[in-house]
């Protein structure tokens, strides 16, 4: 097997309040990447309290084995609340990508050196998809679209593995939210 001169490598930190679905987003991204044949690490970090406290996770995806899940200057960050924007926004690499939950974070509350910054109204789009609690899926759809790592359909296919079976009835609504997030950041939208 020949190795590419430029192997694919991507890392992201996803952060927000406990209860916003941060860990589910990371799990789904990891599952979808594994199904696509990529090497993956996933590292969750919980705050003092799960619901209401801060939570973040790091996902690293590569064509080659991943040496460490620890990332100091991520290529990408997805921030769902203001404390996460303050903590992780400035850490994103200069040529990186920052996705901001515009439903909870104003543009003037974001400091970053990231080249590409997208403000996504996740709550409004999730409500449009039929459930205001699916803002995390909106953001994950936007991440899939903008990163180009995976298609939104690959992420949709990860839902049955990432969701407990008692939540499988919500797969259509989650799928709709993922697609709306991707459509919102698509060129020409």
CA dist 128 and 142 (Å) reads 15
Q: What is the pLDDT of residue 52?
A: 60
- Topology given in CATH for the domain delimited by 9-185: Pyruvate-ferredoxin Oxidoreductase; domain 3 (3.40.920)
CB 45 within 8 A of CB 55: yes
Taking the model in full, what pTM does it have? 0.92
Q: What is the pLDDT of residue 9?
A: 94
Q: What is the pLDDT of residue 158?
A: 94
Q: What is the pLDDT of residue 75?
A: 97
Q: What is the pLDDT of residue 68?
A: 83
3-class SS letters over the chain: CCCCCCCCEEEEEEEEECCCCHHHHHHHHHHHHHHCCCEEEEEEEECCCCCCCEEEEEEEEECCCCCCCCCCCCCEEEECCHHHHHHHHHHCCCCCEEEEECCCCCHHHCCCCCCEEEEECHHHHHHHHCCHHHHHHHHHHHHHHHHCCCCHHHHHHCHHHHCCHHHHHHHHHHHHHHHHHHHHHCCCC
* Structural domain boundaries in the chain: 9-185
Q: What is the pLDDT of residue 187?
A: 83
Low-confidence ranges of the chain (pLDDT < 70): 1-6, 47-53, 189
Q: What is the pLDDT of residue 1?
A: 44
Residues pairing with 57 in the sheet? 14, 44
What's the CA dihedral at 168, 174, 175, 177 to 10 degrees? 170
Q: What is the pLDDT of residue 131?
A: 93
Name residues whose C-beta falls within 8 Å of residue 151's C-beta, 6 or more positions apart in sequence: 144
Q: What is the pLDDT of residue 51?
A: 57
């Amino acid at each position: 097997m020949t190795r590419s001169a430029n192997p694919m490598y991507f890392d992201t930190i996803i952060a927000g309040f406990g209860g916003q679905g941060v860990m589910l987003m990371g799990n789904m991204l990891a599952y979808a990447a594994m199904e696509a044949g990529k090497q993956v690490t996933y590292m969750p970090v919980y705050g003092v309290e799960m619901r209401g406290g801060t939570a973040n996770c790091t996902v690293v995806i590569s064509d080659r084995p991943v040496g460490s899940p620890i990332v100091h200057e991520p290529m990408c960050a997805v921030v769902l609340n203001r404390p996460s924007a303050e903590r992780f926004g400035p850490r994103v690499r200069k040529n990186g990508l920052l996705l901001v939950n515009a439903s909870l974070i104003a543009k003037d509350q974001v400091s970053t050196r990231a080249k590409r910054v997208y403000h996504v109204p996740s709550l409004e789009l999730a409500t449009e998809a039929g459930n205001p609690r699916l803002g995390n899926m909106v953001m994950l759809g936007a991440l899939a679209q903008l990163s180009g790592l995976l298609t939104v359909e690959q992420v949709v296919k990860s839902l049955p593995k990432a969701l407990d079976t008692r939540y499988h009835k919500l797969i259509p609504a989650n799928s709709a939210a993922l697609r709306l997030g991707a459509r919102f950041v698509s060129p020409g939208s």
